[in-house]
Amino acid sequence: MASSAPTRIPTSQLFSLEGKTVIATGGTGGLGSEMCLAMAESGADIVSIYPPNDPAQPKLEELIRGVGRKIVSFECDVSNSQNLRNTFKQIWDAGIVPDILLNCAGLNRRGAIEEMTDEKIDLIFAVNLKAVYVAAQEFGMQLIKLGRPGKIINIASLTSFVAMTNVSAYASTKGGVLQMTKAFSNEWAVHGIQVNCICPGYIKTPLSETLVKQYPEMERHVIDRTPSGRWGAPMDLRGATLFLACPASDYVTGTSIVVDGGMMAR
């Protein structure tokens, strides 16, 4: 049970992650790698659950070790729930004690509703929604078993609120992540587990660069619609990530932080 009388820590330590261990899915992606690096720079060690044969995994390991932190990696296709559960068992069997979960694995398959095949729908839902649920479930159950507090950070999207077009399956999953975050927080706050999500807007990553090449008009559209007048960069997510991972957010749960340069407000 969570204590009703929190212990005051010095303000200088509010954003420190010294001695903490982060388990991350999607840590090799354009957003995930920056978020993992930010937490490592703040003192955390990283456990990376990465896709099979992911060429970006060595780069993530180099980044984390480059700031003097440890990284342990486990290969897993998160779209397969049983594989994901087995991977968490391997993590626990390795003696890793969890503190923070970054649920960042995600993908998209753009297309009009009538073009979405079962294969596309199943993959998007398996990675973006069910894998997020299973990872949070396995992580939280271990914390409860150990009697430890912890943090779960899910990655939702601007499309959790504004569905837009040609992203019907993706938007459905990201709306689900938003509600899942609230549901988990309702049940697990009593255990000292905070469950929140970050909702990025349009962020420049290798994947979005590819999309802009396919739809050149998007570059100007995003800039014109965003009050900040630019696309976001992965490093723009660092502040929200650290806040939700560190002691500064110990009384924040079941909520979302939108990082979109003001787009949703326009």
Q: Which residues contact 10 (CB under 8 A, 6 or more apart)?
A: none
Q: What is the mean pLDDT of residues 188-213?
A: 93
Closest CA to 35 of 24, 19, 43, 51: 24
What's the whole-model pTM score? 0.95
**The one-letter amino acid at 59:** K
Per-residue pLDDT of 55-79, as tens digits, reads: 999 999 999 999 999 999 999 999 9
Binning pLDDT at 50, 70 and 90, where does residue 4 land?
Answer: low
Asked if the model's pLDDT at residue 154 lies above 70, the reply is yes
Give the C-alpha separation, 257 to 190, whole Å: 22
In angstroms, how far is the first alpha carbon of the chain from the final one?
A: 42
Domain positions in the chain: 11-202+234-259
| Closest-CA residue to 196 (of 138, 246, 162) | 246
User: Which CATH number describes the domain made up of 11-202+234-259?
Assistant: 3.40.50.720
pLDDT band at 202 (very low <50, low <70, confident <90, very high): very high
Position 206 scores a pLDDT of 84
pLDDT in tens, 127-149: 999 999 999 999 999 999 999 99
Q: Count Cβ atoms below 10 Å from residue 121 Cβ, excluding itself.
A: 15
What integer pLDDT is reported at residue 3 of this predicted model? 55
Looking at 133, 170, 202, 251, which residue is catalytic? 170
Question: Got the DSSP string for 175-223?
Answer: HHHHHHHHHHHHHHGGGTEEEEEEEE-SB--HHHHHHHHHSTHHHHHHH
Report CA 26 to chain centroid distance, whole Å. 7
Confidence of residue 98 (pLDDT cuts 50, 70, 90): very high
Known catalytic membership, residue 170? yes
CA 119 to chain centre: 24
